[in-house]
Chains A and B, each alone.
Chain A
Amino acid sequence: MKAFLFLLLGSMAIFAGEALTGAVEKQPLNMSAIIMFVIFVGATLGITYWAAKRTKTAKDFYTAGGGITGFQNGMAIAGDYMSAASFLGISALVYAKGYDGLIYSIGFLVGWPIILFMVAERLRNLGKYTFADVASYRLRQTPIRTLAAFGSIATVILYLIAQMVGAGKLIQLLFGLDYEIAVVLVGVLMILYVTFGGMLATTWVQIIKAFLLLSGATFMAIAVMAHYNFNFETLFATAVQMKDLTIMEPGALISDPISAISLGVALMFGTAGLPHILMRFFTVSDAKEARKSVFYATGFIGYFYILTFIIGFGAIVMVFQNPQYLDLAKQAVDGGSPILGGDNMAAIHLSHAVGGDFFLGFISAVAFATILAVVSGLTLAGASAISHDLYASVIRKGKTDGLMEMKVSKAATVVLGIIAIFLGITFEDQNIAFMVGLAFAIAASANFPILFLSMYWSKLTTRGALLGGSLGLLTAAVLVILGPTVWVDVLKNAEAIFPYKYPALFSVSAAFIGIWFFSITDKSESAKQEKEAFEAQFIRSQTGIGSEGAVEH
């Protein structure tokens, strides 16, 4: 358990919240949670059946037919972002460190306005199914799609491993099921949702889960505040009595300016480069709905982070030092006041403290539902990169029909699901805290620069995008491996070769400089044509002319 705390609070604090790690103890079977979870699975399988009847074409499969409203999509985007690990991880961070938890969540939120101002509308106006559609719009399809698909699949798999391992551990804790059974269960349900119900089912599962999670978290926050007559000063004062004054100010989370800025860059640009998030912009009908989606998503996510802050403090006053939740066996060995199941269980114990067994069951079921919904979205994004980018555009050079492409996508979903189960089991006892950080670094350093410059910079060429994007990808991967999170924590070396935990500042700069240099020095005939094609692309990105109906390109 010490390792667990170390992981959460120590070197990789920022992303550990996204990846529940370390050893956990299996809990006794929790019947009320299991019953509520079975109801959720039944309802979502019902939705999948309904969605399957409406998913006939490739457009239906990838984009839910393009008929999701801005509000629904905002809810679904928020759902993608509010993973179980971020709910439990952020509230655990607030529980353990107070103010640092707030700093952490703010970093995850501020990318959204930037996505709205810079990316969302142009993306909707130019793209069809994947962000590679936009990146390769006027560039050579084969190299750019291959790179974009590689970036997408790498991001998805890293994220997926973190979620699967988190799922297995969480289910052990919450339901008392075996790790392997939990991972297989998540994998199988996810395959069912995605292969049969496509984006329509994935979106609705996400919306329902977001609604349940926000409702449950709201109830908890209100219950905590009601205890203190809705007076924050009283809540904070009680919490400070339990711990000390340091929970009210920044702690050790961010120590030097370079790390601080680098982390900000990773979170901001990484969010704008996550394939499963970008894909959601193609499910709405036009640019107007796309921008509304971001507005609602920002509101829901911001609200959720404020709730988790209250929940974390609620856990300090109601769970910390409460003998009911104390892990006596561990206390006897290590001292202090450890809670059962570790800090990540703070929100779960709080749900019991405010709402009894029934509400504990509800929150546990919601946490599991959250994992299912998030892995489904990830898998669909990965499968789309394989079928739409690699199969249809690179291998078949666009000479395939939608039905065949959809079949490939479903097959890819099954394969990705099996890979996720396999990797989830393989990585059970591995230190995987770096994986979400690496996923964000790749998204920020490879996916985002190509996507952004393809929309904003007329002089971008295929050579620039390919070499610069690859440079960003490699720099991010190499610096993460040489940095403290892998070189020291995983490979057990004494000192890191690269001193910073978050490489984004360096790898994103490398990508932008690389793309710029290899584009302006590209004097080929095709580069000239690509620059000339910017004008037409620019008009479409601004007005949406040409984006209605199925425009093949």
Chain B
Amino acid sequence: MKQELVDRIKSDPDFLKLVSERSRFAWILTIIMLVIYFGFVLIIAFDPSFLGTPLSEGSVTTIGIPIGVGVILSAFILTGIYVRRANGEFDELTRRIKAKAKGE
């Protein structure tokens, strides 16, 4: 990539917007996933019997089952949220940046 092109893209407001919004979004989602997973792991490490609490009076199913399945679902949902926004908003910004880089 030529320095002149680098300088031009670097000062493109669309590029600055893409970089700041996408990285903020990605970090927020990453932190949510880390909190969910390591929260789950720390419960196992410090208070495993909590996950063994029956779901309701007299039931065999424990609270750990929906929580565990919930962690699996949260991973899928978080990726879905990211892909949805990236495929729309971020790809549109990228397309504009590329068009400007080629056109001018």
Knowing A99-B64, A117-B29 touch, does A248 contact B1 (C-beta < 8 A)?
no
**Residues of B that sit less than 8 Å from A by CB:** 1, 3, 5-6, 9-10, 15, 18-19, 22, 26-27, 29-30, 33-34, 36-38, 40-42, 44-46, 48-49, 51-52, 59-62, 64-65, 68-69, 71-73, 75-76, 78-80, 82-83, 86-87, 91, 94, 97-98, 101
Task: Give the CA-CA distance A329 to B64 in the complex, in Å.
Answer: 37
Task: Give the CA-CA distance A249 to B51 in the complex, in Å.
Answer: 6
**8 Å CB contact of B79 from A113, A248, A257, A540:** A113
Sampled A-B contacts (15; CB under 8 Å):
A106-B40, A106-B72, A110-B37, A110-B71, A113-B29, A114-B34, A240-B60, A248-B60, A249-B49, A254-B45, A260-B45, A294-B79, A539-B9, A542-B15, A545-B5
**8 Å CB contact of B62 from A113, A121, A249, A302:** A249
Question: Is there contact, CB below 8 Å, between A261 and B65?
Answer: no
Which secondary structure dominates where chain A touches chain B? Answer: helix
Which residue on chain B has the smallest CB distance to residue A121?
B86
Which residues of B sit under 8 angstroms from A539, Cβ to Cβ? 1, 6, 9-10, 15
- From 285 to 331 in chain A, residues with beta carbon under 8 angstroms from any chain B beta carbon are 287-288, 291-292, 294-295, 298-299, 302, 305-306
Which residues of B sit under 8 angstroms from A264, Cβ to Cβ? 37-38, 41
Knowing A292-B83, A302-B72 touch, does A233 contact B61 (C-beta < 8 A)?
yes
Task: Give the CA-CA distance A259 to B42 in the complex, in Å.
Answer: 10
Which residues of B sit under 8 angstroms from A257, Cβ to Cβ? 42, 45-46
Task: Give the CA-CA distance A543 to B22 in the complex, in Å.
Answer: 12
A453 within 8 A of B: no
B61 vs chain A, min Cβ distance (A): 5
Task: Give the CA-CA distance A485 to B96 in the complex, in Å.
Answer: 54
Which residues of B sit under 8 angstroms from A287, Cβ to Cβ? 94
Question: Is there contact, CB below 8 Å, between B41 and A260?
Answer: yes
Question: Is there contact, CB below 8 Å, between A545 and B41?
Answer: no
**Residues of A that sit less than 8 Å from B by CB:** 99, 102-103, 105-107, 109-110, 112-114, 116-118, 121, 232-233, 236-237, 240, 245, 248-250, 253-257, 259-261, 263-264, 268, 287-288, 291-292, 294-295, 298-299, 302, 305-306, 535-536, 539-540, 542-546
